[in-house]
Amino acid sequence: MESHILITLAGIGILGVICQLVANWVKLPAILFLLLAGIIAGPFTQQLDPDILFGELLFPLVALAIAVILFEGALTLKLQEIKNLRSMVRNLITTGALITLIITAAATYYIARVDWHIALLFGAVVTVTGPTVIIPMLRTVKPNANISNVLRWEGIVIDPLGALFAVIVFNFIIASETTDAYTTAFTTFGSILLFGTLLGFAFALILGKTLRKHMVPEYLRNVLTLTLVMGVYAISDYFQHESGLLAVTVMGIVLANMNNTDIEDILEFKESLSVLLRSGLFIILAARVDFNDFLTLGWQALLVLAIMMFIARPLGVFVSGIGSDLSIREKLMIAWIGPRGIVAAAVASIFAIRLHEAGVPGAELLVPLTFMVIIGTVVFQSATSRTVASLLGVREPDTNGALIIGCGNVARNIGKALHDQKIKVTLVDTRWDHIRLARMEGLSTFYGNPVSEHAELHLDLTGIGLMLGMSGRINADTLASIKYTPEFGANNVYELLSTSESTLPDIHKTSIRNRGRQLFGAKITYGAIANWLRNGAEIKSTKLKEEFSFSDYLEKHAKRVIPLFTIDPKSKLHCFTDTDTPAPESDWIIISLLLPEGMEYQEIPEENAPP
């Protein structure tokens, strides 16, 4: 028995990772594959029964996991990001949610013929969109910043508020049999809102001061934050039932917007943990679905889904967007994306059990109705959102551009060569004379420190997916690599070896894990390229043909050529490194440093060269 439980738990984790990998490979939200895996493991094969596996711990564990997910999402909510869109977000989570609730509940009651109590609760449950589905979808669809910020804020903030709506309706249903239902509902609303907000705000201040004053060792920062989040959720929920989600969301938002509080390492840890939790939760809750319940819904349930997606959501978005700076196209895209996620599934599952125990008719329909909406919205919107975003012209450009650290002669020459091949480049430097020279050559620049708070707010990374450290200063390039690795991924951060590094003993070299991938070759340094350029070398671009292959190209130029980059027919930039040599084919473009006739790069001494 014990071994079976271990295998099942491990299997859930392995299935979750496989689903995430497949989703990344086919560029679709992982929830599609997670739901499919849960349904196969649960109702289809009967290999996973969460109620037997976890027993009474199931929903407490689900609740804690959701609390961590919401907190992690709230940590990404910077008020600066929605400076001009706050009214839109505020209206979406209030007016928009209320419109969705009313229209969905009415359609469920009149079309699906569901008891009006259950219809009202169902309408409240499906007001939530949620970060568990919104954020993965945004990574795939890549809409512009306005759309992304609105949807991300809505998805994270609406989760606890949607759960709050559901709690109010639930209490109204229970109280309607014995007491003044309206008084009970409004009292519950006020208590949850007040207690959750105050507790979340207070603990955010405490945690923020603890982190800012370095009152705990670095290795305990993540552990302290995680346990405090779970503690805040449990305390808040204990004193005021169902207020925990609101408390941890408020806590995350307040912490994210505190001045001089470094939360990057916490955010990175929580993001990794949230991926694991989301994967497990979707599989577990999908495994609890009973397909017999779906059969009882009939075609009327599909009509309710269509009304919710094509009437309630667009109406809520356009009413909420009155007076906002969003364009019609941006509002249409926001209206098109509204998938439901893990909070809707969890809340519906919990309340269905409680209503069934209370003898409310139709309680067994709440879970299949909710999962029908989750599956329907996710499948339909995942399959169509990228196409719709492209047709509306609201997608971000491909992240194939390069952020170049440094504006010295080497960086300018390489930046110009990439720019001439239609690769977007932005050069960053703290020296105005270098910035001025780059601008005179028509290059996009940013004047300032690339790791400053000013850069976080004003450095435009739209369309940029790589970092090239070419300042010639090891400290500047390494610091930038550490900063931008979480942004672009370790495989997309590169550094050009500084001249001084080539002679350093290992005891003085910076750890490889803190460095970008080494550009161009083990012996190619910044100083060497600077000297070659001063001695007449040029950066040339050549298009390969079937009759003129890469090997022909190398043979023609022999030791005079140093391949730097190659661009494939899809305009994707590939870098030559000390460990990776791309294999260019016909119609690829090679960008190389070409030395003058009669010169080989071994003949040029590596001298210290100013950036």
Residue 312's pLDDT is 92
- Residue 383 vs residue 443, higher pLDDT: 443
**Per-residue model confidence (pLDDT) at position 609:** 42
The share of the chain scoring above pLDDT 70, in percent, equals 85
Is residue 601 scored above 70 in pLDDT? Answer: no
- pLDDT band for 455, please (50, 70, 90 cuts): confident
Average pLDDT over residues 412-420: 89
Kindly tell me if the per-residue pLDDT of 574 is higher than 50.
yes
End-to-end CA distance of the chain: 66
Q: pLDDT at residue 291 above 80?
A: no
- H or E stretch at 488: helix 474-488
Q: Which of 422, 531, 428 lies closest to 470, judged by CA?
A: 428
Q: What is the mean pLDDT of residues 268-289?
A: 76
Q: Is the pLDDT at 479 greater than 80, yes or no? A: yes
Phi, psi of 180 (to 5 degrees): -75, 100
Residues contacting residue 177 through CB under 8 Å, at least 6 positions apart: none
136 pLDDT higher than 50 = yes
Comparing CA positions, the residue from 51, 107, 552 lying closest to residue 302 is: 107
- Order of strands, edge to edge, in the sheet holding 464-469? 444-447, 425-429, 401-405, 464-469, 493-495, 517-518
The percent of residues in the chain predicted with pLDDT above 90, rounded, is: 4
pLDDT digit string, tens, across residues 74-93: 777 676 665 666 788 888 88
Q: How far is CA 346 from the centre of its chain?
A: 22
pLDDT at 27 over 80: no
Per-residue pLDDT for 270 more than 70? no
Classify residue 403 by its DSSP letter. Answer: E
489 vs 444: which has the higher pLDDT: 444
* Euclidean distance between CA atoms 346 and 409, whole angstroms: 58
Asked whether the predicted pLDDT for residue 476 surpasses 50, the reply is yes
Average pLDDT estimate for 141-154: 82
pTM: 0.66
Stretch 170-197: mean pLDDT:
71
The C-alpha angle with vertex 253 and arms to 252 and 258, in degrees rounded to 5, equals: 100
**Interval 173-193 mean pLDDT:** 69
Domains and CATH numbers, the chain: 2-392 (1.20.1530.20), 401-603 (3.40.50.720)
pLDDT reported for residue 514: 63
pLDDT: which is higher, 466 or 603: 466
The CA distance from 202 to 208, in Å, is: 10
* Weakest-pLDDT range from 41-55, 80-94, 371-385, 468-482: 80-94
pLDDT of residue 343: 75
- Has residue 103 got a pLDDT over 90? yes
Tokens standing for residue 212: 């800012």
- Kindly provide the b/e burial profile for residues 112-147, where b requires at least 16 CB atoms within 10 angstroms of the residue's own CB: bebbebbbbbbbbbbbbbbbbbbbbbbebbbbbebb
Which pLDDT band holds residue 349 (cuts at 50, 70, 90)?
confident
Kindly tell me if the per-residue pLDDT of 45 is higher than 60. yes
Per the prediction, the chain carries an average pLDDT of: 80
CA distances from 486 to 269, 456, 493 (A): 11, 13, 10
- Lowest-pLDDT range of 11-20, 176-185, 212-221, 324-333: 176-185
Predicted confidence (pLDDT) at residue 610 exceeds the cutoff of 60:
no
Predicted pLDDT at 307: 93
Q: Which of 340, 273, 427 is nearest to 128 (CA)?
A: 340
pLDDT at residue 510 tops 70: no
Q: Do 486 and 268 meet the contact criterion of CB atoms below 8 Å apart?
A: yes
pLDDT at site 99: 92
For 243, counting Cβ atoms within 10 Å of its Cβ (0-12 exposed, 13-18 middle, 19+ buried), the class is buried
Q: What does the pLDDT read at residue 608?
A: 41
Indicate the residue type of 427. L
Average pLDDT over residues 270-288: 78
- pLDDT value at 607 more than 60: no
